[in-house]
A and B are shown apart, each in its own frame.
Chain A
C-alpha cells in the first residue's frame, strides 16, 4: 500500500526525519511509537503533504505512485487520510457541508456520482451512530468549540465517511476517556478491511488492545530504530524506551 524509502525531511532548515524506511501492505496495521519529539507527527504530516516540511531525499510510493510531488488534496483523493493529533478549529465552515464537499471531490475523482443530499445524510447518520456522536456536532462549525475528545471522534467520523485506502492516525487516543477510546477504536475496526491499511501513532498500549497491530515500530530521532510484533509494544509499556536508546550508536 505504501513504501517509504530513505525518507529525509526538514523543517525550517533542521532535519527531523533522517532516513525512514517503512513498508505497509494491504490489510496490515502498523503502530508507530517513540518518545516525544522523535518525529512521529512530522512523518504523518510529510505523508499528508504539509508544505512546511521539505522532503530532501527519499521516496514515498503510495499505491504504486510516487506522491512526493503531489499536493495534499491530490494525495487525499488518491486515498490517503491523516487523522490529526491536533485537529484545528475552522469557524464558519459547517462540519457537514465540509464533509459533503470533501466526499463529493473524492467520489468525483473515483468516477463515482455525487451522493444525493438524502443519501449523504443517511450515510452520515449511520457513521455518526457507530461513533456515538451527537448529531448536533455535525451541524456545528468544523471543530469549533469541540472538546478534545469530540475533535478526535470527528476525525474518525471523517475517516469513516471518506473511506480512504490508507489511514494514518496520529495519537487519536489522546484526550479520549476510557469509553470513548473503546468506541473510537471500534470505529477504526469497522473501517479496517483486507483492502486498506492503517498506521497508528500512539504512546500507549491500551489503544493497541483494541486496534491490534501486525507490526510495531519505534521512531527515535527521525529514524525507525526498532521494529517488532505487537509484543514489542507490551515490552515498551513495561520497560520504556531507555533500553532501546542505549542500544543506539552515540553519533551518526
Chain B
C-alpha cells in the first residue's frame, strides 16, 4: 500500500520538473491529466479488471520519465538488427520514447501526409494537431491511471495522418528501443488517423538494448474513417526484466477494415488493453494475439469491442503458449448496442501449457442488447496432443522438434494472417528463440 502511494507521489513530483521545461499546445492537457492522475490509485487485485495479474513488482519501482533524463542514442548497427530482410519500409526510430531522426529512413512525404514524430508538431505548435485529435474530449471518460500517466508526460510518439484516399506503398516500421540506465519510464504516445479510403500498414516494435528493468507505458490512439484500411502489427520483445503496458483505442467508421496483432514475447509483466469502438456499418475489426511466456512472465491481454451500429463484424483470436511458471490472461468483452442489429462477433482464446506450473486464465464476456446478432466465444486450455506427438515421432522426428512442430501448428492460424512474409518469418524465429526450442 505504502509502495503504491510513494510511487504515485514520485510521478507527481517529477511532473513538476517536467512541466517547467515543457511548453506546448498540449500543456493544458498534461495539467488536466496529472490532476486526474492524483485522484486515482494504482490498481490492485481487488479491481475486477486487474484481478488475475500481480503488478506489485512494477509499483515497487520509481521509474524516471525519460524526457527528464539525459538524451541517449544507440548505434545504427543495433537498429539494423531489427530490419526485415529485403523489406522496404519507412523506418522511424524512437530511443527511450524520443524520436531519433538519424536512425530513421525514408521520411519524405508530401505536404498533406503527416508521418513521424509527434514532438516535432508539438514544438511547432502546429494547430493541425488540435483538429486531428479531439483534445477537448480526450480525458473526459478516461479513468485509466496508466493512460493518464502517459498523457501527463506527453512529449513524443509516432504520428500518422493520412488524408483521404492516400495509399501508402510500404509499411511503416516504428522501432521503439529502450536503452541506457535502469529504471527509465518510456511513454510513447502514438496517434494514427486514416481518413476515408486511405490505407496503411504499421509495424510497432518494442525492444530493449540490454536486459534492463524499465517501464514502457504506451498510449496508442487509432482512428480509421470510412472505407479506410489499416494493419497494425505490434511486437513486444523487450527485456525480460521490463514492464510493458499499452492502452490502445481504435475508432472505426463505416466499411473500414482494421487488423490488429498483439505479439507478446518479452517483458516480465505485459498488459495490453485494446478498446475498439465500431461506430459504423459494415465495419471489419480483427484482433489477433499471440503471447509466449516462460520463467515467471505474466502476459495480460484485455480487449473490449463495442458494436454501435448494425451490420458489422468483429473477430478475435488470441493464442498463448505458456512454459515454466508463466501466466497468460485473456479477458475479452463484447458489447453489442441495441441499434447494432446483424452484428457478427466471434471471439476465441486458446492456450497451450508446456509445463505443469504454467497458468492460463480466460474470461470472455458478452453483453448484448440487440436481438438479431451472431455472437460466439470460446476458450480452451490444453497440453500438446500426445497422440499427435507420437505420430510425428513415429516418423523419425525427435521429440523436441516434434514439439516445435506442434507449437508452430498451434499458432498457425494467427501467424498466417500476417500479410508481410518477412514478418511472418521473423515472428516464427522469435517464437522458437523465446521458447528456447528447436526452430521449425
A residues apposed to B, CB below 8 Å? 48-51, 71-73, 75-77, 81-82, 84, 87-88, 90-93, 98-99, 101-102, 105-106, 109, 141, 158, 162
Contact = CB atoms under 8 A, between A and B. Distances in A.
A105 B388 contact: no
Contacts of A49: 393-394
A76 B396 contact: yes
Minimum-distance CB pairs A-B, first 5: A92-B409, A76-B396, A92-B412, A102-B395, A73-B393
B300 to A, nearest CB: 26
Given A92-B410, A93-B405, A50 B390 contact: yes
B18 interface: no
Interface string B244-263: 00000000000000000000
B394 A93 contact: no
A158 B408 CA distance: 21
Contacts of B413: 92
Contacts of B405: 93, 98, 101
Contacts of A71: 393, 399
B395 A88 contact: no
Contacts of A141: 409
Contacts of B410: 92
Given A88-B388, A90-B409, A93-B406, A105 B401 contact: yes
A98 B395 contact: yes
A87 B393 contact: no
A246 B112 CA distance: 93
Contacts of B388: 88, 90
Nearest to A87: B391
B398 interface: yes
Interface in B378-413: 385-388, 390-399, 401-402, 405-406, 408-413
A88 B393 contact: no
Contacts of B390: 48, 50-51, 72
A193 B259 CA distance: 55
A76 B395 contact: yes
B394 A76 contact: yes
A162 B406 CA distance: 21
B395 to A, nearest CB: 4
B440 interface: yes
Contacts of A88: 387-388, 391
Interface in B127-171: none
Nearest to A141: B409
Contacts of B392: 90, 93, 98, 102
Contact of A105 (B385, B386, B397, B411): B397
9 contacts: A71-B393, A73-B394, A73-B397, A73-B398, A73-B399, A73-B402, A90-B388, A91-B409, A101-B401
Interface string B409-434: 11111000000000000000000000
Contacts, number: 76
Contacts of A51: 386, 390
Contacts of B411: 92
Contacts of B409: 90-93, 141
A53 B385 CA distance: 17
Interface of B: 385-388, 390-399, 401-402, 405-406, 408-413, 440
Nearest to A93: B409
Give the residue among B390, B392, B395 with the most A Cβ atoms within 10 A.
B395
Contact of B393 (A76, A91, A158): A76
Give the residue among A71, A73, A99 with the most B Cβ atoms within 10 A.
A73
Contact of A92 (B386, B393, B399, B408): B408
A21 B412 CA distance: 45
A98 B406 CA distance: 11
A75 B413 CA distance: 32
A39 to B, nearest CB: 18
A234 to B, nearest CB: 32
A93 B413 CA distance: 11
A58 to B, nearest CB: 21
A92 B412 CA distance: 6
B288 to A, nearest CB: 15
A105 B413 CA distance: 26
A158 B390 CA distance: 15
A82 B394 contact: yes
A98 B402 CA distance: 10
Contacts of A92: 408-413
Given A84-B391, A88-B388, A90-B391, A102 B396 contact: yes
Contacts of A109: 396
B415 to A, nearest CB: 9
A106 B395 CA distance: 8
A50 B401 CA distance: 17
A72 B401 contact: no
A190 to B, nearest CB: 19
B341 to A, nearest CB: 34
Contacts of A48: 390, 394
B263 to A, nearest CB: 17
B432 to A, nearest CB: 14
Contacts of B387: 88
Nearest to A89: B388
A72 B390 CA distance: 7
Give the residue among B391, B396, B399, B408 with the most A Cβ atoms within 10 A.
B396
Contacts of B406: 90, 93
Given A76-B396, A101-B397, 18 more contacts: A48-B394, A49-B394, A51-B386, A51-B390, A71-B393, A72-B394, A73-B393, A88-B388, A90-B392, A90-B409, A92-B412, A93-B392, A93-B409, A101-B440, A102-B395, A102-B396, A102-B397, A105-B398
Contacts of A75: 394
